[in-house]
Amino acid sequence: MNEKKLVELTGKHTQIIIELGEYAEILHWGKKIEGELERCRSVIHRPVPQGRLDKDVAMTLMPELGRGLFSSPGLEGHRDGLDWAPVFVITDVVQSSAGHLLIKSEDKRAGLKLSTELMLDEYDVIKTRQTLKNIKAGKYYLNRLANTLPLPARTKELMTYYGRWVKEFQTQRQPLLQGGYQQENRRGRTSHEHYPAFVAGTEDFSENHGEVWGFHFAWSGNHRMRADVKVDGRRYMQAEVIYFPGEIALEQGESHTTPWLYASYNASGLNGMSQQFHSHVRNSVISPDYKEKVRPVHLNTWEGIYFDHDPEYIMSMASQAAELGVERFIIDDGWFKGRDDDYAALGDWFLDERKYPNGLEPVIEHVNNLGMEFGLWFEPEMINKDSDMYREHPEWLLAVDGYNQPEGRHQYVVDLMNDDAFNFLYERLDYFLGKYNIGYIKWDMNREIVQPGHEGRASGVKQTERFYDLVDLLRTKYPQVSIESCASGGGRVDFEVLKRTDRFWPSDNNDALERQTIQRGMSYFFPPEVMGSHIGSSECHCTRRKHSIEFRGLMAMFGHMGIELDPVKEDETEKQNFAHYVELHKSIRSLLHSGVNWRLTTDDPAHQAQAVVAKDQSEAVVLIAQLAMPTNMTSGNLRIPGLDEKAQYRVSVLDKPAFFERIANTQPPWMEADNVLSGSWCGEIGLSIPVLDPETALLLKLERVD
C-alpha cells in the first residue's frame, strides 16, 4: 500500500482515526470529531528537528527498530540469530464491520506475516491483538510480541495497581514522566500483586473529570505492561505476555496470537470509563447463558468449619442457611480423600468416605429439598506431595527435573501439558458434575507457579492455555454449572478468565472495612455482580477486627452477596440480622446487578460512597461508608450524579447503624421527612451527610415520582 489512506472506527462517544500506508499509525483516539478527515490530516504532520533521524518516524501499532522507532519494539525474535529486526509492510486491510479492522502486513525477507486486529464496540471499548506467522523454513523463536497503543502528549498521570494476598486491588497515583512506568508479573497467575491494568489521563483526572484512557490485559499468566514517554515527548503503552526463553518457537506455517488488550477512552473521568468497561463486560465477556440469571445468595462453609466436615452438622448448617434466605449452599475445601488440613490430598479428587460414609447424596438432597442449589470447591491444578496422585505420578508435577522448587501452601502445580494428568482431572470433575446435582463450582488456585517446566522446557504460556482448555471442556459439557474463579482470593481476576467463569472471589479478606477499598479498586473494571461479597463473622478471621452486623451487612450488599460463617453458632438476634440483610440485598439485587455504577466523590476522605442508578434512571441506591473518624464535626453534602436532572426523586433511608440517633444532638432533618428532590439538586447540591461513627454505613434509596 503506497497511497496513505485513513480509516476510522467509531463508538458511541469515541473515535479512532488510523492512517494506513506501509504501516499503521493512530492519529486520533478520543472524542468523536466532525469534519472532513482527509482534508484536515496534513495539519498534524510533525516537524523534523535537527540532531536526530532525518525523517519523521511514526509511532506505529508495531514499533520496529528497523524503521528507526526507538521505543520498546513490538516484536523481538530470531531464526537462529537471523531475521531479528523485521520491518513489516501492510499488504491488506479488511474492515469487516464499522468496528472491526484487520491489518495484514508482511516482511518477506524475514519470512514473517503479522495480523493486527482492532475492534471498537458500541460501549467505546477497544480490543486489540497481534498474530505472528512464520512463513519461512527454520524455527522462529519469539521473545516478545506486544500490543502497542499510543497515548496523547496530554496524558500526564497514571492510576496503577498494587496489592497482595488479603489486600488486592489497591490503587495509587503517579506522574507519567520520562522513564515511564512498567509492571512485570512473573507469578504464573494473574496475581494479587500486579493486576493487569492501569489508567492514563490528563493532569488531575478524577472520578468525574479529565480525559482518561484505561487498559486491561486479558491474560491469566505472566505479563508486562508499560506506559512510556519518549524523549521527543510522545507517549505510548504496551501490554504483552512474558515469554520464557525458547517457549514460543514457531515452525514454518505456525502462528502465535497474543491475548486481547482492552482499552477505553472517556472524556469525563473514571466513572465514565468504568461504565464503558462494565457495559462491555456485561454484554461481551460474561457468558450469555449467565447474563440474565439471578445471582443466588451464597453460604460458603470455609470460614465456618474449615476442614472439619461432618455431614450431619453440615446439613444443620444448610437448614439454618435456608432460614436466612440463602439460595446456594457451598461445601468448600475439606471434602475429598485425606484432606484434613492443607498439607495433604490435593490431587485426590475422590469423596472422603471416612467423612461422608453415605456419600454426598444425602447432603445434596437435603440442600435441594430446602430449595437451595448445591456447590462444591475444587482446586484442580494443584498437587500435594502427600497425595496418592503424587505417589502414583510424580511425573505429573510442573517442574524442571533436578531442581527443588519451594512449596506454596505445602503444594505444587500439576503439569496440564501432560495429557494423562489433564485427562485425569477432566475425568474427575466430569465424574462429580455428572453424578451429583451440582450447580456451582468454586475453582481455586492457591499457589504461584515457580518453574513451569514441561519435559524440561519452559511452558508458562501453554500451562495457562491448558487451564483455559480444561475449564472450556467442562463448560461446554455443563453450561448450566456456574463457576467462580478464586486464587487465594483475588489472584486470578481478569477478562479472559471471566469469559469462562461467572464470578470472582475478590479477596480472602472478609473484613468489611478492607473490603470497601478492595471492591472499589476492582470496580474500575468489573461490575458488582461478578464480585463475590460475603458477610463474615463478627471477628474477621484474617484481621481480627470486629464489626457490627449492620456494617458487615451493608459492605457485602454491593456485590454478589453471600455469608461465610457457621450459622449454627450464631444467636437468634444475629440470625435475624443476617436474614434482614439477605432480604434487603434481594430487594435491590436486580438494580445492583444491572444498573449504572458511580463511585461518588465526598468532601471528607474518611467517607467512601457509591451509587447504582437504574439504566432508565427510575431509581437508585446509595451507600455511604464511614471508613475512619470524620475529619471535621460536619462532613458536607453527598452529591449523587447520574439521575435524570429534570425528574423528581423521593429519598428514603433503607438502613442505618445502630445507635444512629444517639451519636448526634440532631441528625439531618431530611432523614425523617418526606423529601422529594430533583435529579439536578441531587447531582449538584446533594444531601447533608449525617454524623456517623467510624466503620458504620448508611443505605439510601431514591425513587422517581411521576
Active-site residue numbers?
444, 508
What is the three-class DSSP state of 11?
coil
Residues 6+ apart with CB under 8 A from 338: 344, 345, 348, 352, 386, 387, 388
Counted residue by residue, the chain has a size of 706
Give me the least distance between CB of 141 and ligand GLA, in Å please.
37
Give me the least distance between CB of 220 and ligand GLA, in Å please.
16
For ligand GLA, which is the closer residue by CB, 240 or 514? 514
For ligand GLA, which is the closer residue by CB, 265 or 378? 378
Contact 546, 514 (CB under 8 A): no
Question: By C-alpha distance, which of 227, 174, 178 is closest to 204?
Answer: 174
Give me the least distance between CB of 192 and ligand GLA, in Å please.
11
- Please list, residue by residue across 479-508, b when 16 or more beta carbons sit within 10 angstroms of its beta carbon and e when fewer do: eebbbbbbbbbbbbbbbbbbbbbbbbbbbb
For ligand GLA, which is the closer residue by CB, 149 or 486? 486
For ligand GLA, which is the closer residue by CB, 117 or 444? 444
Exposed/middle/buried for residue 409 (C-beta within 10 Å: 0-12, 13-18, 19+): middle
Contact 447, 439 (CB under 8 A): no
For ligand GLA, which is the closer residue by CB, 325 or 489? 489
For ligand GLA, which is the closer residue by CB, 164 or 173? 164
Written as one letter, the residue type at 302 is W
Give me the least distance between CB of 488 and ligand GLA, in Å please.
5
For ligand GLA, which is the closer residue by CB, 508 or 655? 508
Contact 526, 195 (CB under 8 A): no
Q: In whole angstroms, what is the distance from residue 641 CA to residue 488 CA? A: 36
What one-character-per-residue DSSP string does 338-374 give? Answer: T-SSTTB-TT--SB-TTT-TT-SHHHHHHHHHTT-EE
For ligand GLA, which is the closer residue by CB, 444 or 502? 444
Written as one letter, the residue type at 573 is T
Residue 131, all three cell numbers: 498474530
Measured in whole angstroms, the distance separating CA 681 from the mean position of its chain's CA atoms is 34
Residues 6+ apart with CB under 8 A from 53: 68
Give me the least distance between CB of 566 and ligand GLA, in Å please.
15
Alpha carbons within 13 A on the beta-carbon side of 410: 12
What one-character-per-residue DSSP string does 515-567 give? Answer: HHHHHHHHTTTS-GGGBEEEE--SB-TTT--B--HHHHHHHTTTSEEEE-S-G
What is the three-class DSSP state of 600?
strand
Exposed/middle/buried for residue 404 (C-beta within 10 Å: 0-12, 13-18, 19+): exposed
For ligand GLA, which is the closer residue by CB, 302 or 329? 302
Give me the least distance between CB of 564 and ligand GLA, in Å please.
8
Question: By C-alpha distance, which of 161, 148, 154 is closest to 212?
Answer: 154
Binding site for ligand GLA (CB under 6 A): 302, 332-333, 377, 444, 446, 486, 488-489, 505, 508
**Residue of this chain nearest to ligand GLA (CB atom):** 333
What one-character-per-residue DSSP string does 461-476 give? Answer: HHHHHHHHHHHHHHHH
For ligand GLA, which is the closer residue by CB, 446 or 696? 446
Contact 683, 641 (CB under 8 A): yes
Q: In whole angstroms, what is the distance from residue 578 CA to residue 43 CA? A: 64
Give me the least distance between CB of 491 and ligand GLA, in Å please.
8
The H-or-E segment that residue 13 falls in is none
Question: By C-alpha distance, which of 640, 652, 628, 633 is closest to 602?
Answer: 640
- Crossing angle between the packed helical segments 311-324 and 361-369, to the nearest 10 degrees: 20
What is the three-class DSSP state of 682?
helix
Give me the least distance between CB of 308 and ligand GLA, in Å please.
13
